[in-house]
Amino acid sequence: MEVDLSRFTTGGFERGAGTLKELCWLVVSRVLFQWCPVCLSPLKRTVLRWFGSSVGCGVVIKPEVKITFPWKLTLGDHVWLGEECWLLNLAPITLASHVCISQRAFLCTGNHDYKSPTFDLITKPIRVEEGAWVGAGAFVGPGVTVGSHAVLAAGSVAVKDLEPYGIYQGNPAVRVKLRGLRTED
């Protein structure tokens, strides 16, 4: 058997919205989310809610953030989305409160079945738990949970769950130490 991409289908994949809503989102996201400064985060939060996101208070959205389907996005309170980060949420992405997604980080909920001759689409949700940090240029793959207060170092690749308070780096990411948080004076 050989790979035959001409037979590819998305199977039971649900985009979650109609064509008109998706088209409207593409236009709005290009204007508001690609070019507008961080001072317009309150407007961006409102627009995300209009398109079906659950968005907490104090969310900061830097310029050039890319969100594929806002209706499959949940953001807790005081989430930071850095410049050029991409949330490819073919399946739900949930970012709990006080999560930082740094510049050019890529959260990807979709992949393909490399054993399938038709390269079937596979989607799995991503969850980033409270206080976690995904560093600049890092990759979080389908089905991964980034545990509470875990850190994925810049440029690292998470393809398996990250334990709470672990600091992970590399490709694939491995835990290198535990994150110790200082107490405030």
Tens-place pLDDT, residues 73-127: 999 999 999 999 999 999 999 999 999 999 999 999 999 989 989 999 999 999 9
pLDDT of residue 185: 66
Q: Which residues of 112-144 are buried (b: 16+ CB within 10 A; e: fewer)?
A: eeeeeeebbbbbebbbbbebbbbbbbbbbbbbb
The answer to which of 2-11, 13-22, 134-143 has the lowest mean pLDDT is 2-11
The predicted model scores a pTM of: 0.94
Domains and CATH numbers, the chain: 39-178 (2.160.10.10)
